[in-house]
């Protein structure tokens, strides 16, 4: 059952979406281009606190997109860039693994209050609007199948201003 995320009670959000079970859910923007990555980089560098570790493990306060491009172009195997974007109290880790998907890992244990969730939803909504693409939050280990379908289905789907949750726990209570 899909439901507007704003209609969910914080206790349910904490229990079912950000269950502190040790898993690390992922955020994804699919079908991205280098231009999308550059737009994302400029957005997070301007909006959030960032720690960027380049391929040489040097830390910087901004993402160096040229360093990311160099790794992609040279397909380097030694060292890989990594960024932590701090969305309020939530750390979103990005690994720059593929040009066609902007990924982000989150730690559910960091979600202690409703404002943590609201901050992440604001970040994902801004991303969707900025890139004009759908953004999803999926459980750790979710498989990406043909035609950009996920198995199991995303926990949260953000399409511009529309933010819905696959509230499976509501189906179970009927």
Average pLDDT over residues 74-90: 89
Main-chain dihedrals φ then ψ at residue 130, nearest 5 degrees? -65, -45
Question: Which string of DSSP letters, residue by residue, matches 92-124?
Answer: EEE---BTTEEEEE--GGG--SHHHHHHHHHHH
End-to-end CA, the chain: 11
Average pLDDT over residues 104-119: 96
- Give the pair of three-digit tokens for residue 37: 């990555």
**How many C-beta atoms lie closer than 10 Å to residue 36's C-beta?**
20
Residue (of 139, 143, 148) closest to 168 by Cα position: 139
Tens-place pLDDT, residues 49-58: 999 998 888 9
> What does the pLDDT read at residue 172?
65
Only one residue has tokens 């953004």, namely 135
> What does the pLDDT read at residue 155?
95
Q: How confident is the model at residue 171 (pLDDT cuts 50, 70, 90)?
A: confident
Tens-place pLDDT, residues 133-150: 999 999 988 999 988 899
């Amino acid at each position: 059952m899909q439901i507007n995320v704003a209609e969910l009670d914080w206790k349910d959000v904490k229990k079912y979406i950000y269950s502190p079970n040790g898993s690390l859910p992922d955020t994804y923007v699919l079908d991205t281009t280098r231009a999308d990555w550059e737009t994302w980089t400029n957005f997070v560098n301007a909006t959030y606190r960032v720690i960027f570790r380049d391929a040489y493990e040097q830390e910087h306060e901004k993402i160096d997109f040229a360093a990311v491009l160099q790794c992609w172009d040279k397909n380097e195997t030694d060292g890989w860039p990594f960024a932590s974007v701090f969305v309020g109290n939530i750390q979103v880790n990005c690994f720059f693994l593929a040009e066609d998907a902007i990924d982000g890992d989150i730690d559910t244990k960091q979600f202690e209050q409703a404002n943590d969730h609201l901050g992440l939803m604001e970040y994902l909504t801004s991303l969707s609007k900025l890139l004009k693409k759908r953004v999803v939050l999926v459980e750790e280990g979710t498989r990406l199948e043909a035609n950009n379908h996920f198995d199991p289905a995303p926990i949260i789907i953000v399409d511009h201003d529309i933010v819905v949750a696959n509230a499976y726990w509501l189906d179970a209570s009927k």
